[in-house]
Chain A
Amino acid sequence: MRASRPFASLALAALLFALFVGAWQLSSSTGAGGGAAVDPEYAALVGAAAAAGGQTPFPSPVQIGGRILEHLADPFYVRGTNDQGIGVQLAYSLGRVLSGFLLAAAVAVPLGFIIGMSPLLYGALNPFIQVLRPISPLAWMPLALYTIKDSAISSIFVIFICSIWPMLLNTAFGVASVRKEWLNVARTLECGPVRTAFRVILPAAAPTIMTGMRISIGIAWLVIVAAEMLVGGTGIGYFVWNQWNNLSLADIVTAILVIGLVGMVLDQLLAIATRAVSYQD
């Protein structure tokens, strides 16, 4: 739904954000300070907070802001396998998501087309789809690692398997529900099967297909973080896990924000593409 007063909504959003960050900053600054005196050598060895017997304090918004600026200043550095810029890690993740997603689209759209056109095939394949669809994509990971024997390709496979179902089902549904009268127009104009498929059925089903793609890319972006935590090596999911091992909470919060922003951009790109192919009936 579009807000009737966009500026008022925007101002309210800014106010809510300021309140949240302000409260966070206030609570993290009051909690610090004090503490018992400790042996400075011990403190230097294990870190001040640990030496005091406390936990690593949750970073304040100012600390996180500083960390974000540091990441933004140099996003693409590579200083060894475990120390790479957040931009490099994002690029790995995006590369996996896009290759898995495009492979899935290359399979799902033609297959969905055939299923949508043939009630026989739809009936025959539907039980398989219904069983395979609810499987968590990560459950495939061990099988993928065993058969493919490559962690990077395995995570692409996991993206493939999770993004194929929404596209397949939406394409089949979109193709099956093309209006009979449009098909009759094509028939009276003696359009061949190929011309009918590309000039009538595809444009008619395109909005439904694009909606399936939008759902798929959302799921793929959710799954890639978990998949990379599992297989390790590179990617934004591995970055989060690595910073957890470093107990660097500021980096984790930075990564969370970046994951959210990239997910939103992916979703909006598909939303724009959906609008481009949609029509008013």
Chain B
Amino acid sequence: MRRPFVSVEGIARRFPGVGGGAPQTVFENLWFGIEEGEFVCLIGHSGCGKTTVLNILAGLDAASDGAVVVAGREIDGPSLDRAVIFQSHALLPWLSAEANIAFAIRSRHPRWPRAQVAEECRRWIELVGLSAAAEKKPAQLSGGMKQRVGIARALAVRPKILLMDEPFSALDALTRGALQEEVNRIVAETRLTAFMITHDVDEAILLADRILLMTNGPHAKIAEVVVNTLPRPRTRHDVHHLPGYYALRNHIIDFLVDRSRLLAATMPKGWDPRSVPEVRPAVAA
């Protein structure tokens, strides 16, 4: 069997039961793949273990069962090849924006001379449009600027895979839109493989090639894979005018409103966790 670039194979996460009771299963038997250069979003309600899935992919958390195979090798911890953009930006508050990025660059290239690190650092700061604020500490930056630093820090190590945990959920709508476009552009330019967790249906449709729909926890499962057939390049300005956009959007919202709860109780007959059905609502429309 051919394995995709990132292959999630039957992972589960269980927490020990309270007071020695039966272990609590957040999710189990999760199978999915991400092809090289593909952008995959995971959508589901709070508490279904989305962040845990991302942490397992990042190597920050270990699966109770199953394995994650990247480029043919099972992962057993964090790696510079799998960068994470954290929901809370997670910048080191005692370092300036520039120093936060330099810290990441030096992790990738410990032998680089100071001037080369500074040069590379400037490049990334310019790319995310922060040249005027490079010397500022995170506390002096706005939420959007902090997340720009977080994005630059993740990209500066030149990872193979970019993992994003609701990176824009704490931002106002305007800033969120601008950053979505930027991530869209950078990921397309660098042909990065990307995996993103989100609550935001429009964000998922704008960015993702495929959208994984997760049922409510406990015992959360991936019920469906929605293939985004809308043509690229997509921008915030025109994506909602594309034919099929609303069929796609309505399908996902219907899932979040009703089916995520109904499916959590009973999956349809013939549903196979190893090959989750793919749907193309935008084509059917």
A187 touching B78, Cβ below 8 Å: yes
User: What are 23 A-B pairs with beta-carbon distances under 8 A?
Assistant: A181-B86, A181-B88, A182-B90, A184-B78, A184-B84, A184-B90, A185-B90, A187-B59, A187-B77, A188-B59, A188-B60, A188-B80, A188-B83, A189-B108, A189-B157, A190-B80, A190-B107, A200-B92, A204-B92, A204-B94, A206-B94, A279-B137, A279-B139
Residue A199 lies at the interface, judged by CB distance under 8 Å to chain B:
yes
**Cβ proximity bits A267-281 to B, threshold 8 Å, 1 near / 0 not:** 000000000010111
Known: A181-B88, A181-B90, A189-B107. 18 other contacts (CB 8 A): A179-B90, A181-B86, A182-B92, A184-B60, A184-B78, A187-B59, A188-B59, A188-B79, A188-B80, A188-B83, A189-B80, A189-B104, A190-B80, A191-B107, A206-B94, A279-B94, A280-B139, A281-B93
Cβ contact within 8 Å between B79 and A190: yes
B103 interface contact, C-beta 8 A:
yes
Interface string of B36-71 (1 = CB under 8 A from A): 000000000000000000000011100000000000
Asked if A188 contacts B137 (CB within 8 A), the reply is: no
Given A203-B94, A204-B94, are A188 and B58 also a contact pair (CB < 8 Å)? yes
Judged by a CB distance under 8 angstroms, whether B82 is at the interface is yes
**Interface readout for B133-173 with A: 1 if CB under 8 Å, 0 if not?**
00001010000000000000000010000000000000000
Residues of B near A277 (CB, < 8 A) are: 94
Per-residue interface assignment for chain A, residues 119 to 142, with 1 indicating a CB less than 8 Å from any chain B CB and 0 otherwise = 000000000000000000000000
- Residue ranges of A at the interface with B (Cβ–Cβ < 8 Å): 179, 181-182, 184-185, 187-191, 195, 199-200, 203-204, 206, 277, 279-281
| Chain B facing A: main interface SS | loop
A212 to chain B, nearest CB (A): 18
| Known contacts A188-B58, A188-B84, A279 near B107 by CB under 8 Å | no
Closest to A181 in B: B90
Q: A188 touching B82 by the CB < 8 A rule?
A: yes
How far, in Å, is B137 (CB) from chain A's closest CB? 7
Q: Min CB distance, A182 to chain B, in Å?
A: 6
Pick the 6 closest A-B CB pairs, nearest first. A280-B139, A189-B107, A279-B94, A181-B90, A187-B78, A188-B78
- Write out, one digit per residue, whether chain B residues 78-120 have a CB within 8 A of any chain A CB (1) or not (0): 1110111010101011110000000110011000000000000
- B residues whose Cβ falls under 8 Å from a Cβ of A: 58-60, 77-80, 82-84, 86, 88, 90, 92-95, 103-104, 107-108, 137, 139, 157
Q: A206 contacts which chain B residues (CB < 8 A)?
A: 94
Residues of B within 8 A of A179 (CB): 90
Asked whether B94 lies within 8 Å of A187 as measured between CB atoms, the reply is: no
Q: Which residues of A contact B92 (CB under 8 A)?
A: 182, 185, 200, 203-204
A280 / chain B contacts, CB cutoff of 8 Å:
93, 137, 139
Whole-angstrom CA separation of A187 from B90 in the bound complex: 12
B residues less than 8 Å from A281 (CB atoms):
93, 139
Residues of chain A within 8 A of B59, CB atoms compared: 187-188
Residue in B84, B92, B137 with the greatest tally of chain A CB atoms within 10 Å: B92
* Nearest CB on A from B270, distance (A): 39
| Residue in contact with A190 in the complex, picked from B78, B88, B103, CB distance below 8 Å | B78
Measured CB to CB, the closest approach of chain A to B234, in angstroms, equals 29
CB distance from A5 to the nearest CB of B (A): 28
A97 vs B157: C-alpha distance when bound (angstroms): 47
Residues of A within 8 A of B78 (CB): 184, 187-188, 190
**Contact call B86/A184, Cβ cutoff below 8 A:** yes
Chain A residues with Cβ below 8 Å from B104 are: 189
By a CB distance below 8 angstroms, the chain B residues around A189 are 80, 103-104, 107-108, 157
In the assembled complex, how far is the CB of residue A181 from the closest CB belonging to chain B, in whole angstroms?
Answer: 4
For B84, the chain A residues whose CB sits under 8 A away are 184, 188
Residues of chain B with a CB closer than 8 A to A181's CB: 86, 88, 90
Known pairs A182-B92, A203-B94; A187 contacts B139 (CB<8 A): no
CA distance A201 to B226 in the complex (A): 42
Smallest CB-CB separation from A184: which chain B residue? B60
The answer on a CB contact under 8 Å between B86 and A279 is no
Residues A199 and B103 in contact, CB atoms below 8 Å apart: yes
Q: Which of chain B's residues have a CB closer than 8 A to the CB of A204?
A: 92, 94
Q: Which residues of A contact B107 (CB under 8 A)?
A: 189-191, 195
